[in-house]
């Protein structure tokens, strides 16, 4: 699947060349509809061909070459699509990109200069990892959930002492104070537990990177302590979930991961919309609405373009130009849904931006 940067690279590379962009909704599951996607695709391709032929300003031969290239990529799919969506881009000379995507896509066929990129924004969310950390005072398990797949990344034990824990233990042994054996044992457990959480927090930050989501669980006390140990930039994208426990099987973790990630994403989207509205209204680095956002994109000062799903669906051409211009200046693009999108629609016409300056 394409990442944000890879999609931006492709957009820039072929922006002056006619490209056939094809999006397919692969969500059919009724046996009676196993070839419906192909029927719709063939109808849309025929419509585009007739339009090109009637218009006379575009090269019909180039369109047909691009069409045949993408149909060749689809030849292996004789029944249902293997995933929830499929996306392909082709010129008359090459297949720019073609692959399945794990999110629903609209049925769309477009022949125009450059890629039609706005519908793909929804799929970009899938590139962000969700790091799940389950821990108690003695042990931690780390998982990474991405594109519908869960991987147990590693396990960390408090008995695998970090250098600072060993140093603390040796210092206590040399102190000359015999103390109470039970108290000493408890202190050693605490030292090891603290060292474990420090190591887990550091590793979670590495796995999450600059935009990954983080979910922590295990015991309630340890989950909250781990959440507080995370770096500030990571903790903003993190949530403690009490229903997750250390002994869960990978299958159980996966069952919970998607719904938890969805809820956390919704909260972050609401926060993003609130932030851009506040900045714009306070005269800070934010703009609201179609015209002001378009002007900021032209001036190449957009840091994050924020669009509602309604704006993307109802103003496809306008949204696509905005997304493409954002990609050209390496700006982030966020599609918001749910209550965040409703507020963005109501208060900013469905589009806004955080600015670099």
Considering only CA atoms, which of 152, 148, 98, 153 is closest in space to residue 126? 148
Residue 94, both tokens? 């090459």
Burial class of residue 290 in the structure, from the number of CB atoms within 10 Å of its CB (0-12 exposed, 13-18 middle, 19+ buried): middle
Position 276 scores a pLDDT of: 97
Dihedral sign of CA atoms 324, 326, 327, 333 in order: negative
C-alpha distances out from residue 220 to 20, 41, 216, 224, Å? 52, 51, 10, 6
**Tokens representing 234?**
């990571």
Report d(CA 113, CA 65) in Å as an integer: 15
Q: Which letter, b or e, does each residue of 58-72 get, where b requires 16 or more Cβ atoms within 10 Å of its Cβ?
A: beeebbebbbebbbe
> CB of 241 within 8 A of CB of 216?
yes
If you classify domain 4-117 with CATH, what class do you get? alpha beta
Q: Report the candidate in 299, 307, 303, 267 with the shortest Cα–Cα distance to residue 284.
A: 303
| CATH number attached to the domain at 128-248 | 3.30.420.60
Domains 4-117 and 128-248 are alike in CATH topology: no
Per-residue buried b or exposed e for 118-134, using 16+ beta carbons within 10 Å of the residue's own CB: bbbbbbbbbbbbbbbbb
| Residue ranges covered by each domain of the chain | 4-117, 128-248, 269-355
Q: Where are the beta strands (DSSP E) in the chain?
A: 18-25, 85-90, 95-101, 108-113, 130-135, 139-146, 149-157, 213-218, 238-240, 286-288, 302-308, 332-336, 351-355
212-234: pLDDT as tens digits = 999 999 988 898 999 999 988 89
Task: Return per-residue pLDDT of the chain as tens, 357 residues.
Answer: 898 999 999 999 999 999 999 999 987 666 666 678 999 999 999 999 999 999 877 789 999 999 999 999 999 887 778 788 999 999 999 999 999 998 889 999 999 999 999 999 989 887 889 999 999 989 999 999 987 789 998 999 988 654 444 444 444 444 444 556 777 778 887 899 899 999 999 999 999 998 899 999 998 889 899 999 998 889 999 999 988 999 999 999 988 888 888 888 899 999 999 999 999 999 999 999 999 999 999 999 999 999 999 999 999 999 999 999 999 999 999 999 999 999 999 999 999 999 999
What kind of architecture, by CATH, is found in domain 269-355? 2-Layer Sandwich (3.30)
């Amino acid at each position: 699947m394409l990442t944000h940067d890879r999609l931006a690279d492709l957009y820039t590379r072929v922006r002056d060349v006619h490209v056939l962009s094809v999006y397919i909704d692969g969500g059919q599951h009724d046996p009676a509809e196993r070839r419906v996607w192909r029927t719709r695709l063939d109808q849309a391709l025929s419509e585009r061909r007739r339009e090109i032929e009637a218009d006379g300003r575009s090269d019909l031969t180039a369109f047909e070459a691009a069409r045949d290239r993408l149909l060749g990529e689809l030849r292996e799919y004789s029944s249902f699509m293997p995933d929830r969506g499929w996306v392909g881009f082709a010129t008359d000379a090459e297949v720019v990109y073609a692959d399945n995507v794990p999110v629903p896509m609209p049925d769309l066929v477009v022949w125009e200069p450059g890629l039609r990129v706005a519908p793909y924004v929804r799929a970009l969310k899938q590139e962000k990892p969700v790091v799940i950390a389950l821990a108690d005072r003695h042990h931690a398990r780390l998982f990474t959930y991405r594109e519908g797949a869960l991987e147990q990344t590693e396990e960390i034990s408090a008995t695998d002492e970090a250098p600072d824990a060993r140093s603390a233990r040796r210092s206590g042994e040399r102190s000359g104070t015999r103390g109470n054996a039970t108290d000493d044992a408890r202190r050693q457990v605490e030292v090891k537990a603290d060292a474990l959480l420090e190591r887990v927090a550091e590793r979670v930050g590495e796995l999450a990177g600059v935009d990954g989501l983080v979910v922590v669980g295990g015991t309630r006390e340890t989950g909250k302590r781990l959440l507080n140990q995370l770096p500030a930039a990571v903790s903003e994208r993190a949530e403690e979930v009490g229903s997750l426990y250390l002994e869960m099987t990978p299958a159980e973790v996966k069952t919970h991961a998607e719904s938890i990630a969805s809820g956390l994403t919704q909260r972050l989207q609401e926060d993003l919309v609130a932030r851009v509205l506040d900045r714009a209204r306070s005269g800070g680095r934010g703009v609201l609405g179609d015209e002001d956002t378009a002007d900021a994109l032209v001036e190449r000062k957009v840091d994050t373009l924020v669009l509602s799903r309604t704006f993307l669906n109802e103003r496809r051409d306008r949204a696509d130009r905005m997304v493409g211009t954002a990609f050209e200046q390496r700006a982030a693009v966020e599609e918001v849904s749910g209550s965040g999108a409703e507020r963005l629609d109501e208060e900013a016409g469905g589009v806004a931006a955080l600015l670099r300056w």
